Amino acid sequence: MSAALDTLKLSSAQIAWRAAQDMEDGAYVNLGIGFPEMIAKFQPEGRDVVYHTENGVLGFGEAPAAGEEDWDLINAGKKAITLKPGAAFFHHADSFAMVRGGHLDLAVLGAYQVAENGDLANWSTGKGGVPAVGGAMDLVHGAKRVAVVTDHVTRKGEPKLLKRCALPLTGLGCVTRVYTSLAVIDVEDGRFVLRERLPQLSFEDLQSVTGAELKIHGDVADLAVPEL
Amino acid sequence: MNKTIAFASEAVAGIGDGTTVMIGGFGGSGAPIELIHALIDAGPKNLTIINNNAGNGHVGLAALIEQGMVAKMICSFPRSADPKVFTDLYLAGKIELEIVPQGTLAERIRAGGAGIPAFYTPTSYGTELAEGKLVAEFEGRHYVQERWLKADFALIKAELGDPLGNLTYRMAARNFNPLMATAATRTVAQVTRIVAAGEIDPEQVVTPGIFIDGIVEVPDPEQEESLNREGAVYP
């Protein structure tokens, strides 16, 4: 099964593409560092999205060309960025007022585990080492929608979508939608509700690599993503 | 009134052993590298440092830690491209770490500067970072009580400063600097240029001079990222 899944599953870029299709025109969006940042590359044409970064910028654009970096102008991942017309700077307390105060429309994060009740674990593997939380525990509170982009299973093939998270939590009941390498799943009333699945994959096969029951309310659409 | 200090060494002279110091910046952006290096030259021990991170490479905050001067870090994200200095000391049990969610860190510093001893935030509710903290319910949601954060000293970086201590910042180098300026008994800013009183439009002042005790001009300040790309080591 897992070998078959590896050939079927979406690449990270394809997961990011799918997540990007749900960014509304006029949305204020925070993309978590790492994988979620890729979503910006697939922002649908004709939609205006204003990106927020925790370190105090609204309205930033792509990375500058090599050699053109200004190290006073970085994002939360410490990467150099550029500004779009209408950008704004602000200090850290204002930045997190935007986060916790409900002013962001969407935050997209990575995940180690997501539970059917919306709990998210994405900051600590619980194995010791140096703990580092950054802004993750703040970002899961306040944004109107908190989405996750992730592989459907771990590298070992174990489910990442579970009845309850086993790893240290980032936030309780915070995730509203999960974009995985196999499916799009909403969290509603403490249950995973399947919205889209890869057409090549049967419901039973998808359920077998998911650690909690997948509910079906209404139609399940095909998860259709271009080759990228 | 003239808060100008001629040398960075003079600006950090009051920082003794056991002092709690807020250092501005987010990664290298907005980090007062020259003030940190002056502090390394002065050599106080057993410092508690408040910063978003815990240094990168072997300059600035990482160098301060590498010199064995820091007993405790209060930060949100002690990882970086080259976090070896902090990581080795932490795993050897030679440096203490208080990990604070980034927004909570910012708000605790703001509260410290604003005379607000505690506040409630949704952040960290139900997680191990909320263990032992008071929880209260407001309008059906749970919130965690967090306490103010204050320091003996703040070392910050700004762009323009005038002799009264009014400051502007440059792009995303603002980050924690204006907050830390308010939350320390004594705050010293390094600025790229000191201008005469009145030359900063009052509409453009970000940190009013009341929060500032000293300003040092450091024209053409170093960038941590550039130093690290050159493989620089301090001292």
The candidate with the shortest Cα–Cα distance to B86, out of A188, A129, A67, A61, is: A129
Say yes or no to pLDDT of B104 above 60. yes
User: Hey, what are B17's tokens?
Assistant: 């052993």
Q: Is residue B141 part of a domain?
A: no
Domain contains A228: no
Residue B60 has pLDDT above 70, yes or no: yes
| Alpha carbons B12 and B184: distance in angstroms, whole number | 13
Q: Is the dihedral of CA A195, A196, A202, A207 positive or negative?
A: negative
Tell me if A227 is assigned to some domain: no
Contacts of B129 in chain A (CB under 8 A): 133, 137
d(CA A64, CA A102): 30
Q: Tell me how far apart the alpha carbons of residues B105 and B179 are, in angstroms, rounded to a whole number.
A: 10
Residue of A nearest to B86 (CA): A130
Task: For residues A212 and A188, give the distance between their C-alpha atoms in angstroms, rounded to a whole number.
Answer: 13
A101 contact residues in B (CB cutoff 8 A) = none
Per-residue model confidence (pLDDT) at position A2: 58
Instruction: Compute how many other C-beta atoms are within 10 angstroms of the C-beta atom of residue B198.
Output: 10
Task: Order across the sheet with B135-138: list the strands.
Answer: B118-121, B141-147, B135-138
Strand partners, B22: B50, B154
Q: What is the pLDDT along chain A (228 residues), one digit of tens a residue?
A: 556 778 899 999 999 999 999 999 999 999 999 999 999 999 999 999 999 999 999 999 999 999 999 999 999 999 999 999 999 999 999 999 999 999 999 999 999 999 999 999 999 998 888 999 999 999 999 899 999 999 999 999 999 999 999 999 999 999 999 999 999 999 999 999 999 999 999 999 999 999 999 999 989 999 999 998
Q: Provide the phi-psi class of B110: left if phi over 0, else alpha when psi is between -120 and 50, else beta.
A: alpha
For chain A, count helices (H), then strands (E).
5, 14
Which residue range forms the structural domain that includes residue B95?
Answer: 4-117+148-216
Q: Is residue A32 part of a domain?
A: yes
Supply the mean pLDDT for chain B: 98
Number of domains chain A is built from = 1
> Which ipTM value was assigned to this complex?
0.97
Residue A185 distance to chain B (closest CA, Å): 24
Q: Which two tokens stand for residue A36?
A: 């979620």
CB contact under 8 A, A74 and B170: no
- Whether B140 is in a domain gets the answer no
Q: Is A54 a catalytic residue?
A: yes
The answer to whether the Cβ–Cβ distance between B97 and A131 falls below 8 Å is yes
Confidence at residue A95, expressed as pLDDT on a 0 to 100 scale: 98
Q: How far A189 CA lies from chain B's nearest CA (Å)?
A: 16
**CATH number of the domain to which A142 belongs:** 3.40.1080.10
Q: Verify whether the Cβ–Cβ distance B174 to A90 is below 8 Å.
A: yes
Amino acid identity of B189? A
Nearest to A55 among B29, B81, B124 (CB): B29
**Domain tally for chain B?**
1
Residue B132 forms part of a structural domain: no
Contact B79, B27 (CB under 8 A): no
**Can you give the residue range of the structural domain that contains A211?**
2-222
Asked if A77 has any chain B CB less than 8 Å from its own CB, the reply is: no
Residues of A in contact with B179 (CB under 8 A): 91-93
pTM of this structure? 0.97
**How near does any CA of chain B get to the CA of A149, in Å?**
21
d(CA B84, CA B72) in angstroms, rounded, equals 16
Q: Which pLDDT belongs to residue A129?
A: 86
What is the rounded CA–CA span in Å between residue A174 and residue A167? 16
Neighbour count for residue B87 (Cβ, 10 Å): 18
pLDDT digits (tens, 9 = 90+) for B146-173: 999 999 999 999 999 999 999 999 999 9
Cα of first residue to Cα of last residue in chain B, in angstroms, is 35
- pLDDT, residue B52, reads 98
CA distances from B82 to A61, A83, B85, B114, B221 (A): 26, 27, 8, 35, 21
pLDDT class for B139, splitting at 50, 70, 90? Answer: very high
Asked if the structure places residue B127 within a domain, the reply is: no
Q: How far is CA A134 from the centre of its chain?
A: 16
Q: Tell me the CATH number at B202.
A: 3.40.1080.10
| B199 located within any domain | yes
Does residue A54 lie in a domain region? yes
**Residue from A37, A54, A116, A196 carrying the catalytic annotation:** A54
Structure tokens at A202: 């049967």
Contact A137 B124 (CB under 8 A): yes
DSSP state of B198: T
User: What is the distance between the alpha carbons of residues A89 and A53, in angstroms, rounded to a whole number?
Assistant: 10
Give Cβ neighbours of residue A159 (< 8 Å, ≥ 6 apart): A152, A153, A209, A210, A211
**Tokens 């990106």 sit on residue:** A51
Rounded CA-CA distance B158/B212 in Å is 11
Q: Which of A130, A141, A168 sits opposite B128 (nearest CB)?
A: A168
Is 80 exceeded by the pLDDT of residue B24?
yes
Quick one: pLDDT at residue A3? 64
| DSSP assignment letter at A169 | P
End-to-end CA separation in angstroms for chain A? 24
CB atoms within 10 A of CB A189: 10
User: Per the structure block, which two tokens stand in for A222?
Assistant: 């095909």
């130093």: which residue's tokens? B227
For the CA atoms of A208, A38, A142, B173, the dihedral, rounded to the nearest 10 degrees, stands at: 150
pLDDT in tens, B172-223: 999 999 999 999 999 999 999 999 999 999 999 999 999 999 999 999 999 9
Contact assignment for A89 to B97 by CB distance below 8 Å: no
